[in-house]
Amino acid sequence: MKAFSIDRYGKKNGRIVEVPTPEVGAHDVLVQVYATSVNLLDSKISTGEFKLILPYSFPLILGNDLAGVVVSVGPSVRRFKPGDEVYARPPQERIGTFAELIAVHEDALALKPENLSMEEAAALPLVALTAWQVLVESARLKQGQKVFIHAGSGGVGTLAIQLAKHLGAFVATTTSTRNVDWVKALGADVVIDYKKQNFESVLQDYDVVLNSLGADELEKSLTILRPGGQLISISGPPTPQFAQEQRLPWVLGLVMRMLSGGIRRKARKKNISYAFVFMRASGAQLDEITTLIESGIIKPVIDRTFAFESTADALSYVGQGRSKGKVIIKIK
């Protein structure tokens, strides 16, 4: 089968190669990939930004989202059968959706929403699960609370806005001038043009911040949170708790304690909690998200679609950080 693989960390590397068909374990489902999508995570993995917490070996097939059709199932699989249309974010230790076939543990899979195309479904798993695990699972966002979501026109931002509004929250976000009206249409109550205003000068007394940007934005986010508020970052720095959850070596736990020490101390002084969330695969949560999708509450937002042969171009485009929503790669 064909797959897009990298042999080393670095920018502008990777190529389509022939690789063996994946082996199917007892609880695995072999899926023919019809479409996948590119996340900023893929770009960061390829350049080595996450090699401390995601120690992959080479050659490495990239890709964290899929929509496709079940080809075969392992002997212990009961929830899926050949011919089922499915979508998923594979477990982090078994990524590789930039390929014609992938074997995925059944616990990570869900039936594809009936009202979506393969391309639309492929846009959702990683960003929808990220938004769910930050807002529902970690923040326990309640009706009437105020949430600030950085980068509202990005892949996670577009989904988080929709989910937060469904949960009954008041939503503020940032975007560039050309996207202000577009992001408002997603449901945001306040949209700050970051080219004209500083969010920390406009917002105050927020309950939750979802940070997906850098250290400057992370620290400024503390100033808009009320005492008792929650600062949740998906872009780091990772915490000692994360190291424990991932069962990383104790040395990495010490490194993460140092990396996050500054922001955790500053948060404590303001009676604010800081957490790092690294999205995990969950077919059960995707089932709940599917219900929202089929009810029309959450809709995928797609920027561009690339052919499989242009995967390197798609990665480069996403790495620039200017896409509105998700970038799709059509495999079949």
Is the same domain home to 264 and 186?
A: yes
Domain CATH for 103: 3.90.180.10
Is the same domain home to 161 and 254?
A: yes
> What pLDDT sits at residue 147?
98
Is the same domain home to 85 and 198?
A: no
Reported pTM: 0.97
Is the same domain home to 114 and 158?
A: no
Mean pLDDT of 43-47: 91
> What pLDDT sits at residue 51?
87
Does the residue 285 lie in any domain? Answer: no
Tell me: pLDDT of 162 over 90. Answer: yes
Contacts of 105 (CB under 8 A, 6+ apart): 25, 27, 28, 29, 90, 91, 94, 281
For 300, the token pair is 């995928």
- Residue 180: which of 194, 166, 169, 163 has the closest Cα? 194
Tell me: pLDDT of 12 over 90. Answer: no
Mean pLDDT of the chain: 96
Residue pLDDT, tens place only, 291-307 = 999 999 999 999 999 99
Does the residue 57 lie in any domain? Answer: yes
Is the same domain home to 134 and 120?
A: no
Domain CATH for 157: 3.40.50.720
Residue pLDDT, tens place only, 49-100 = 888 888 899 999 999 999 999 999 999 999 999 999 999 999 999 999 999 9
Count: domains in the chain? 2
Is the same domain home to 130 and 166?
A: yes
Is the same domain home to 191 and 92?
A: no
Residue pLDDT, tens place only, 129-146 = 999 999 999 999 999 999
> What pLDDT sits at residue 156?
96
pLDDT-based confidence at 319, cuts 50/70/90? confident
Is the same domain home to 120 and 130?
A: no
In whole angstroms, how far apart are CA 233 and each of 23, 135, 183, 205, 208? 35, 11, 21, 18, 11
> What pLDDT sits at residue 269?
98
> What pLDDT sits at residue 144?
98
Is the same domain home to 75 and 191?
A: no
Does the residue 119 lie in any domain? Answer: yes
Q: Tokens 């969950």 — which residue?
A: 282
Is the same domain home to 209 and 89?
A: no
> What pLDDT sits at residue 227?
98
Tell me: pLDDT of 323 over 90. Answer: no
pLDDT-based confidence at 26, cuts 50/70/90? very high
Does the residue 28 lie in any domain? Answer: yes
Does the residue 206 lie in any domain? Answer: yes
Domain boundary residue, one of 237, 260, 276: 276
Burial class (CB in 10 A: 0-12, 13-18, 19+), 193: middle
Does the residue 237 lie in any domain? Answer: yes
Mean pLDDT of 186-212: 97
Is the same domain home to 54 and 172?
A: no
Does the residue 38 lie in any domain? Answer: yes
| Percent of the chain's residues with pLDDT above 70 | 100
Rounded Cα distance between 152 and 329, Å, is: 22
Is the same domain home to 70 and 152?
A: no
Does the residue 282 lie in any domain? Answer: no
- Look up the domain containing 94 and give its range: 2-124+300-330
- Straight-line distance from the first to the last Cα atom of the chain, in angstroms, rounded to the nearest whole number: 12
Domain boundary residue, one of 276, 291, 321: 276
> What pLDDT sits at residue 53?
81
